[in-house]
Amino acid sequence: MKKPNTTADIPEIRPGQSIELLKELHILTRDGKLNQDTRRKLKQVYHLYQFIEPLLDGAETLVDHGAGKSYLGFILYDLCIKNRATGEIIGIETRQELVEKSRELATMLGFERMRFLACTVEDSLTATELPASVDVVTALHACNTATDDAIRFALTKNARHIVLVPCCQAEVAATMRARKNESLSQKPLSELWRHPIHTRELGSHLTNVLRCLLLESHGYDVTVTELVGWEHSMKNELIIASRRDKSGGNPRKNARERAEAILREFNLEELAPRFTY
């Protein structure tokens, strides 16, 4: 059977997409086919690409925080950056072995304006290899507090746009769980998280609400929507934040006060340093 050599052979793949890249990312099999799992993964990445592509207009630097295997960064570079005269994508990942693999793949494909750094969140804030400001920060399926780390990085770097797809979130729910007896004795509202499954679900929801308020308090307009249909992924919330002006001014006046009130109401004051700075 003839192996596909162009994207025209596979209707799901966007025109101009590198077949070799998709094989290296294991989205395509070695004989150039899509299976059901990889078709689902490709659909999610392309759907996210549709949201990010308009944000790259005029952008010079995109940082993918917690990049993992850098699926998103490679796809964005292949579709948006490689044919432009300028622009770069930087992947930040703590695991050195993943960084090395990404570097090797970028070299093999000739993606000269992709860079990868192996560093912690703290190190990324002051790393000399990174510019003082960036245009776009993404974090795809960043687990637990990794999404908050990406937000902190983006705010420190005065990013124009921030694109987040949070994954599992345990910190808020764990704090609610630890103080549940105290809350039940004081607040009728605590019935909302008396049962363990409700603690987990409400904790996840509150986490993203507090993240949105934090971004608004720093002068960003925030949109929250579905990434893909629920049949594809339960981790489905997409948060897009765009700075209102170049200086990051004009924050929503009551965003921080609302966040502080929510933390008090749900007995979460100890998490204020994460959500109200």
pLDDT given at position 7: 55
Query: Closest Cα to residue 114, out of 80, 165, 151, 162?
Result: 80
Q: Could you list the pLDDT tens digit for every one of the 277 residues in the chain?
A: 344 445 556 777 888 889 999 889 888 888 878 877 778 778 877 888 899 999 999 999 999 999 998 989 999 999 999 999 999 999 999 999 999 999 999 999 999 999 999 998 889 999 999 999 999 999 988 787 889 999 999 999 999 999 999 988 899 999 999 999 999 999 899 999 999 999 999 999 999 999 999 999 999 999 999 886 544 445 679 999 999 875 555 788 899 999 999 999 999 999 999 999 9
Report if residue 158 sits inside a domain: yes
pLDDT given at position 42: 81
pLDDT given at position 225: 92
Report if residue 150 sits inside a domain: yes
Q: What domain count does the chain have?
A: 1
CATH number assigned to the domain comprising residue 224:
3.40.50.150
Report if residue 10 sits inside a domain: no
Report if residue 148 sits inside a domain: yes
| Dihedral sign from CA coordinates of 53, 69, 237, 160 | negative
What are the beta bridge partners of residue 91?
64, 116
What are the beta bridge partners of residue 64?
91, 138
Residue 181 CB contacts under 8 Å (≥ 6 apart), including other chains: none
Report if residue 243 sits inside a domain: yes
Does residue 229 sit in helix, strand or coil? coil
pLDDT given at position 1: 39
Q: How far apart are CA 199 and CA 173, in angstroms?
A: 6
The phi, psi pair for 108, rounded to 5°, reads -60, -40
Residue 172's domain comprises 59-275
